[in-house]
Amino acid sequence: MAANPRSGTKRLTGGGHGGAAALLLLLCCTASMALTPDGEALLELKLAFNATAGQRLGSWRAADPNPCGWEGVSCSFPDLRVQAINLPYMQLGGIISPSIGRLTKLQRLALHQNSLHGPIPAEIRSCTELRAIYLRANYLQGGIPPGIGDLTHLTILDLSSNLLRGAIPATIGSLTHLRFLNLSTNFFSGEIPNVGVLGTFKSSSYVGNLELCGLPIQKGCRGTLGFPAVLPHSDPLSSSGVSPITNNNKTSHFLNGVVIGSMSTMAVALVAVLGFLWVCLLSRKKNGVNYEKMDKQTVPDGAKLVTYQWNLPYSSGEIIRRLELLDEEDVVGCGGFGTVYKMVMDDGTAFAVKRIDLNRERRDKTFEKELEILGSIRHINLVNLRGYCRLSTAKLLIYDFMELGSLDSYLHGDAQEDQPLNWNARMKIALGSARGLAYLHHDCSPGIVHRDIKASNILLDRCLEPRVSDFGLARLLVDNETHVTTVVAGTFGYLAPGVPAKRALDREIRRV
């Protein structure tokens, strides 16, 4: 029996209304497969990160229309809006894209312990649902955007251990729900605004910002013309809350006359200082051109130079030549891991160079990998590792040079007689050293156990700020069950607390 052509055509088209319904269903399915606006914003965030993000965030793909299943992303239901981004310890670099402002339902942003740089985008003010911001231990620069005061639901703000600078915005004081604030170990300056909740946080929220002042840290500020708002007092008791004796009217008039009479002198001095800084800046730019040219010079065969954190303003050839000229006259100390030299560049800048004993080093790749981790660590109470040089005859670590040397030499040398340490200075050194060690133990990933802490491994800068040195050279503490510590490193006769107990535990694990 022959088929009716019209009936066949009718079946193929679904018959009028049926075909239209099928087409509409197909269009709806296609639309539902399109990437959501939040997903598009996340992909722009990924693009702003470095190449590591491509590996770590492999699930962030445009082919997957549902960002709620992506690594570190949480969503609310049923609207499928991005509610949280949790990407700590991911070795992410690059910047935070302004696209973050399009995630208007975001409640938690956790990007701490990465290598992000650049500013905190001002667009973050559009994320009005934010409850918690964790951005500590990155390389973020610039200031805190004032618009952060628009995040009225914010309860946690952690921006510690970055390179942020400038004034602390008074708008943060309007965040009535803020319960945790950590702005420590940055470069903030000026007076801490005594408004709203900003005046309720303790000094630990601001520690490590040397140019900050104000009531929360009990440090007097200077007036707008550079004069102290509170008269300076050399007596240590002045910092303990003891009130000064009130001056009479004659003394007040006298002081006012002195202040007014000094204004013109201070203005001239200020202009002179600014002119000097401008000349230095121009000179530095010229020097930068010279260094750039010198980088093209030949580096000795077999030599390798790696710099960390900040590029040194010298050519590789110049640094290596200086290293090769070091001899016994440049020795400033000997530690548990090798000899320490003082290297002075042509411009007078000094660095400490530690020569690693060859019989103490591990394989090159492992050794250099550990140095890469140590070179990324920054804290005001830790000595900065600036670079690593491998020569044919030695391996050298380049550190910042501390003018006052070690605490041990200061206490038992001539410096103690010339400028004895009072109790305030001793307390400052003790607390600073403890903060440095706490950062190594709790904020580094993996955690680092010093295993050779002593007075000779605590260095002092010209302001008596302590810097813990030699950290991480014994061994990185790897947080896994297979790690067994078998070597006591550092000073002979010294055993870090907890090592015997850990060894006993390791033996029990091996028996099992």
- Bridge partners, 214 (sequence order): 219
- Bridge partners, 156 (sequence order): 132, 180
Tokens standing for 415? 């410096």
DSSP sequence for 232-270: ---SGGGGGTPPPPPP-HHHHHHHHHHHHHHHHHHHHHH
Task: Tell me whether residue 286 is annotated as binding.
Answer: no
| Residues 75, 120 contacting (CB under 8 angstroms) | no
Cα dihedral 380, 86, 175, 198, rounded to 10, equals: -10
Tokens standing for 303? 């030599």
- Say which residues have a Cβ less than 8 Å from residue 320's Cβ, sequence separation at least 6: 299, 300, 303, 305, 389, 391
Q: How far is CA 122 from CA 140, 147, 239, in A?
A: 13, 7, 38
- For residues 255 and 227, what is the distance between their CA atoms, to the nearest angstrom? 12
Examine the residue annotation and report whether 452 is marked as an active-site residue of this protein: yes
Which residue bears the tokens 């208007």? 104
| Residues 406, 336 contacting (CB under 8 angstroms) | no
- For residues 388 and 405, what is the distance between their CA atoms, to the nearest angstrom? 21
**Strand, helix or coil for residue 174:** helix
Q: In terms of Cα–Cα distance, which of 353, 338, 331, 377 is closest to 474? A: 338
Q: In terms of Cα–Cα distance, which of 95, 104, 109 is closest to 45? A: 95
Q: Which of 400, 452, 470, 506 is catalytic?
A: 452
- Backbone φ, ψ for residue 191 (5° rounding): -85, 135
- For residues 35 and 28, what is the distance between their CA atoms, to the nearest angstrom? 14
- For residues 35 and 100, what is the distance between their CA atoms, to the nearest angstrom? 16
Tokens standing for 236? 């240590």
Q: Which amino acid is at 363?
A: R
CA atoms within 13 A on the CB side of 27: 6
Neighbour-count burial of 341, counting CB atoms closer than 10 A to its CB (0-12 exposed, 13-18 middle, 19+ buried): buried
- Bridge partners, 400 (sequence order): 351
Q: How far is CA 471 from CA 475, 489, 491, in A?
A: 9, 11, 13
How many CB atoms sit inside 10 A of residue 76's CB? Answer: 14
Q: In terms of Cα–Cα distance, which of 187, 183, 262 is closest to 228? A: 262
Q: In terms of Cα–Cα distance, which of 214, 145, 135 is closest to 181? A: 135
- Backbone φ, ψ for residue 245 (5° rounding): -70, 135
- For residues 155 and 443, what is the distance between their CA atoms, to the nearest angstrom? 21
- The DSSP output letter for 382 is B
Q: Catalytic residue numbers? A: 452
* Binding residue ranges for ATP: 354
* Binding residue ranges: 354
